[in-house]
Amino acid sequence: MKPIVAILLIVIFSVLALIHFYWAIGGQWGFESVLPTNEQGQQMLSPKTLDSIIVGSGLTLFAAFYWLTFISVNRKLPFWVRIIGLWVIPLIFGLRALGDFKYIGFFKQIKSTEFAKSDTWFFSPLCLIIAILGFVLLVKSLRTSDKSKEIIF
């Protein structure tokens, strides 16, 4: 089960990274609809090219993390990197799903904008799914063997 969940996360992170790199090179498809707006329609963020590159790179690193931790036979990450990654990545997306309690997440106050509707029906659920899948891998990875009492990866 771990490889299937890991592959699903790798695909999700890779697609999201590609979208961010597309925006970084000037692509416009979907760009306006993913930025939170206030009730007057003013964007609350004005990301630059570098922002898209940073986010795309982070998402690529997340995909690589799950690849190296669960799929790759030859390359293994140090134990401390695996533990931190297995906790931090799902935590980031779990917190994103909860949101800032104003513009983003399940508990946002501003709910009438186009972004808010997309966030409610797509962005926040996707973040929650990523968090759940990440925590599933964490729990499965922290099971201990009866014989060795060592963490299995």
- CA-closest candidate to residue 51, choices 31, 80, 81, 72: 31
Give 129's pLDDT tier (boundaries 50, 70, 90): very high
Per DSSP, the three-state class of 108 is coil
CB 55 within 8 A of CB 126: no
- 40 by Cβ neighbours in 10 Å (0-12 / 13-18 / 19+) ranks as exposed
**Predicted TM-score (pTM) above 0.95:** no
Asked whether the predicted pLDDT for residue 149 surpasses 50, the reply is no
**Which residue in the block uniquely carries the two structure tokens 């797509």?**
122
Give Cα separations from 12 to 6, 7, 36, 83 (angstroms).
10, 9, 21, 21
Mean pLDDT of the chain: 90
